[in-house]
Amino acid sequence: MNRDNVPFLRRGLMLVLSSPSGAGKTTISRAILKHDLNLTMSISVTTRPMRPSEVDGEDYYFVDEKKFKLMINRGQLLEYANVFGNFYGTPKQPVEDALLNGQDILFDIDWQGTQQLADNENAKKDLVSVFILPPNTIELENRLRARAQDPEEIVQQRMSKAADEMSHYREYKYVIVNDDIEASVKCIEKILVAERICIERQIGLHEFVQNLRTSS
Ligand code: 5GP
C-alpha cells in the first residue's frame, strides 16, 4: 500500500529528473528522498568506474560491459544509454514491483533514457519528467569543479556536453531553473502532490466512489 493516507490503492509514478551534470540534480534528489517516504531511488547499473565516494549497490550497481550486455539481451533493463562512453541502465523488475505497490520511484537518468520511457507505451503513463537547468554557465562550471572527483579532461568533456543536453528540455513535462535548491525541492514536491492525484493513478478510485454511492 502507499502512504498517501487515501483509503484505496494508487499506482506509483516514475519521477525522472534530468539535467546537465552540475545543475544540482543530486542535491535536489537527496533532499526530496529525505522528506518523502513514498519515494525511493532507482539504482542504475553502469559500466563506469566507481568514484572514491561511491558505494556499489547504493549509488549504482557497477558491472562490466559483458554483464551489461547480458542484461540488455535478457530484457532486464527498462531503458539504457551510452553516456560519456559508459553504459547506464535501469533494472526493470524493481521498478515494476514498486509501481504495482503504489511506491513512487525517483530516476536520475539522461535525456536518452527519458525518451525511451516516453516512447514506451507501458512506461509513459507512469512517467513524470522534470528537467533541471542551471541558472547560468558559470554556476554550472563551478559546481562541476567543486565536485573535484573527475579528472580535468572529464570536466571539460561534461561542460561541452552540457549545451547538447540542455537542448532536450522540450521533451520534458516540467522544467525548473535551479537558482535556489530549497525552492526547487519545494517545486518538485508540489509536482508530486498533483501528479499523485491524477485520476489514472488512483486505481482504487472507481470502487471507492461506487461504495460511497451505494452507502449514501
Ligand atoms: P554520473 O556518471 O555522473 O553518475 O552520471 C552521468 C549521467 O548518466 C547523468 O546524466 C545521469 O543522469 C545519467 N544516468 C545515470 N543512470 C542512468 C540510467 O540508468 N540510464 C540513463 N539513460 N542515464 C543514466
Digit-coded pLDDT (tens) for 182-196: 999 999 999 999 999
**Residue type at position 147:** R
pTM above 0.85, yes or no: yes
| Residue 108 CA to ligand 1 centre (angstroms) | 6
| Residue 109 CA to ligand 1 centre (angstroms) | 5
Q: Between the CA atoms of 49, 54, 59 and 60, what dihedral angle is there, to the nearest 10 degrees?
A: 20
Structure-model confidence comparison of residues 20 and 173, the more confident one: 173
Ligand 1, atom nearest to 165 Cα: 10
Ligand 1, atom 2: closest residue by C-alpha: 48
The pLDDT assigned to 9 comes to 87
- Integer Cα distance of 175 and 188 in angstroms: 10
Residue 23 and residue 132 in contact, taking contact as beta carbons nearer than 8 Å: yes
Look at residue 96 and tell me whether its pLDDT is greater than 60: yes
Ligand 1, atom 22: closest residue by C-alpha: 113
Digit-coded pLDDT (tens) for 116-165: 999 999 999 999 999 999 998 888 888 777 765 678 887 787 788 888 99
Ligand 1 pocket list (CB less than 6 A): 21, 44, 48, 79, 81, 83, 88-90, 108-110, 112-113
At 93, is the pLDDT very low, low, confident or very high (cuts 50, 70, 90)? Answer: very high
Ligand 1, atom nearest to 25 Cα: 12
For residue 174, list its beta bridge partners: 130
The pLDDT assigned to 127 comes to 98
Buried-state track 90-116, b at ≥16 Cβ within 10 A, e below 16: bbbeebeebbeebbbbbbbbbbbbbeb
Look at residue 3 and tell me whether its pLDDT is greater than 70: no
CATH numbers and ranges of domains, the chain: 14-42+103-210 (3.40.50.300)
